[in-house]
């Protein structure tokens, strides 16, 4: 389950609101979790894509 793999910025595992985003690598491991306020474009900028 994604939520048990990585907590949010406040240390909570549960999703408090819809549209939480998870970055998953090619092997299925959760790399990072983003709040609903983070746009896909911001995630791309952070990754350098």
The structural domains of the chain, with segments of one domain joined by +, span: 2-47
Indicate the SS3 state at residue 44.
helix
pLDDT at 42: 93
Q: What is the pTM of this model?
A: 0.69
* Integer Cα distance of 36 and 14 in angstroms: 13
- Across residues 2-8, what is the average pLDDT? 75
Using one digit for the tens of pLDDT, what is the confidence trace for 15-45?
A: 777 788 999 888 988 889 998 889 999 999 8
Q: How high is the pLDDT of residue 8? A: 75
Strands (DSSP E) contained in the chain are: 21-24, 30-34
pLDDT for position 49:
59
Q: Which two tokens stand for residue 21?
A: 């985003």
């Amino acid at each position: 389950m994604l939520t048990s793999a990585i907590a949010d910025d406040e240390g909570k595992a549960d999703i408090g609101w819809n549209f939480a985003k998870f970055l998953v690598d090619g092997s299925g491991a959760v790399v990072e979790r983003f709040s609903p306020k983070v746009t896909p474009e911001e995630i791309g900028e952070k990754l350098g894509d």
